[in-house]
Amino acid sequence: MLETPLHVSVTPWIIIAIVVLLCAGICFLLWKRLQKEQEEKDKAIDRYRELEVKTQSLELETIKYKLNPHLFKNTLNSIQSHAYQTYYALDKLSNVLDYILYESDKQYVSLREEIEFALSLVEINRLKVSPLFDLRVKNKIDPANALYEQSLIAPLITIDLIENAFKHADIQSADAFISIVFELKDDQFLLTVSNKISGKTAMKKERSGFGKGSFLKRLEIIYKNNYTIDQFVEEDTYISHLKINLVEHKAQMLIAGR
């Protein structure tokens, strides 16, 4: 009986082992390369997010820079048109200016602070209309609600809808009105502003146009997918309905570490 040479049976296993080692080495190199690419991708994402935050902050600062003088000018125009109520108006103006000077630079304020500011602004705008004008203002929020004192609302976020109503309302008709309602339902802040539409075309002013675009941009940057705004005409009434999900926004703020 002839003996099989040892190298005849061992050689295939050596080849297999070499092939396995080569495959393992290639897989390891590919894994390291993928790991490195993933790390670079993660760094790029982090840099992008950092840049996005800086860009958004810059946009918000630009909006605030334009917003405050714009608001101040409108407020002074309202007071000037009714000088006989100067003392009352200046008291409300003082509240408005305090808010602009000391609160508007904050990222967030409480609902109570923002609504108190909005109510002062409404009283100033009331000077534009007749004492008999139907101006309905309701704050339906329970002060005992835990969200009422939490800093979750961007300062000055309510004024665009309110000022827009006074700007475009039909204040001459007997059945003219403006309605402003603040609510807090199911952890969501709701602001509904409605007014009878004027049949007259609003007079265009020089350098007008700032307002709605910046308002919507602020909402998008600050609240992202945690808000909705509906604006529509129903018969002769223009209605704006803003809804902000405060609890969801608060959760995202905590995740983001703000």
Mean local confidence (pLDDT), 1-25: 61
Count CB atoms within 10 A of the CB of residue 152. 20
Q: Is the pTM of this model over 0.75?
A: no
pLDDT higher than threshold 60 for residue 63: no
Mean local confidence (pLDDT), 199-224: 67
User: What local confidence, expressed as pLDDT, does residue 60 receive?
Assistant: 61
User: What local confidence, expressed as pLDDT, does residue 144 receive?
Assistant: 93
Query: Where do the structural domains in the chain lie, given as residue ranges?
Result: 32-256
d(CA 94, CA 96): 5
- Identify the band that residue 204 occupies on the pLDDT scale cut at 50, 70 and 90: very low
The CA-CA-CA angle for residues 166, 169, 170, to 5°, reads 140
d(CA 99, CA 95): 6
User: What local confidence, expressed as pLDDT, does residue 231 receive?
Assistant: 94
Mean local confidence (pLDDT), 224-247: 94
Question: Which of 32 and 222 is assigned the larger pLDDT?
Answer: 222
Percent of the chain with pLDDT over 90: 33
Choice among 46-60, 110-124, 129-143, 192-206 with the minimum mean pLDDT: 46-60
User: What local confidence, expressed as pLDDT, does residue 183 receive?
Assistant: 97
Which fold does the domain 32-256 belong to in CATH?
A: Heat Shock Protein 90 (3.30.565)
Question: Which of 95 and 45 is assigned the larger pLDDT?
Answer: 95
pLDDT higher than threshold 70 for residue 129: yes
Determine the longest span between alpha carbons in the chain, in angstroms.
129
Mean residue pLDDT across the chain: 78
Choice among 44-53, 88-97, 223-232, 241-250 with the minimum mean pLDDT: 44-53
Q: Beta strand 134-139 with 151-153: parallel, antiparallel or unpaired?
A: unpaired
Count CB atoms within 10 A of the CB of residue 157. 22
State how far the alpha carbon of 173 is from the alpha carbons of 49, 135, 192, 193, in Å: 52, 13, 22, 19
User: What local confidence, expressed as pLDDT, does residue 207 receive?
Assistant: 41
pLDDT higher than threshold 80 for residue 74: no
Choice among 43-47, 60-64, 108-112, 123-127 with the minimum mean pLDDT: 60-64
- Identify the band that residue 255 occupies on the pLDDT scale cut at 50, 70 and 90: confident
Structure-token pair, residue 27: 């897989």
User: What local confidence, expressed as pLDDT, does residue 62 receive?
Assistant: 53
User: What local confidence, expressed as pLDDT, does residue 244 receive?
Assistant: 96
User: What local confidence, expressed as pLDDT, does residue 76 receive?
Assistant: 65
Question: Which of 202 and 104 is assigned the larger pLDDT?
Answer: 104
d(CA 248, CA 18): 57
